[in-house]
Structure 1
Amino acid sequence: MIHYCVQCQHGHSFDGWFASSSAFDRQVEAGLIECPVCGDTQVERGLMTPSLGRKGNTLSEHVPEALPAASASDGPVQAVSVPAPAMAPAAGVPAQLRAALQALRAQVEKHCDPVGEKFAEEALRIHRGEAEARGIYGQATAEEAEMLQDEGVSFAAIPWVPRSDS
């Protein structure tokens, strides 16, 4: 997976994960990438800082047991629905970031089908062409996420914050 900072023509920046650089280019050409803030589909890669490797003597971050996951091949980005994380967004997430994550959630719920705990099963069916290609969101365990990765299914865990209207 390739991580890009994506920017719309109105200056809003957001993160995106793609199977490859060419997958990003195809999705941009098809108008499949939409700004979660304003809905603009005129997007491009933004500036990013390089990802530096961790030193061997640093502690790793805690990875939750059940990972929210998003599945996307070369189609629309597909996303996730999970309970709020142990650390509530209000407990330290900057307001601007929280608002962007709430906008992302609204877009996911508007454009994708909820599949709940059957996320891994449905993502695999879509990947194999056994089910209609469409955006889905749901939950996957760490084991299911590993299986999807082994099968070549593109997906990503995304933060799932409470709705802005709740």
Structure 2
Amino acid sequence: MIRYTLKCDRDHVFDAWFHSADAFEKLRKSRMTSCAVCGSPEVDKTLMAPRVQASRSREIAPLPPEAAATAPGADGKSFSLSEPDSPLAQAIARLRAEVEASSDYVGTDFATEARAMHLGDAPTRAIHGEARLDEARALAEEGVPILPLPFSNRTKSN
């Protein structure tokens, strides 16, 4: 396993683990990596320092006081990558919760379902799912009301 510090096109920085360097490159090229904060698929590695342990018998030295004071969670609050920290990330998390609570997830059948509802071949209901860019473009050209969401499916996260 290898841990990379990643940065999206919107300057969000986060860490993610990958099976290997090749695995990261394959996922990045197929746009299957996404920002942990905003969901953007435009993610690349940033400069990072390697973490090398001299010996298994040695303990990792604690952070110096000046670094410990500014470390995540140093203010006594718990720190979690799964909890949004910025107002924008919190708003997106609220939107995700509302969308998931009030609509049906149809997965990769989104284009088929949306088109069927638009044509009257299926009952109208709120849905969300995934569509390739060409599918979304075709739906828009056909006048099917769709809207891209600012987050990706939870199962496709890093």
Give the TM-score taking structure 1 as reference length. 0.43
- Larger Rg computed on CA atoms: 2
Which structure carries more relative contact order (alpha carbon 8 Å, separation 6+)? Answer: 1
> Greater strand share, 1 or 2?
1
Structure with bigger helix share is 2
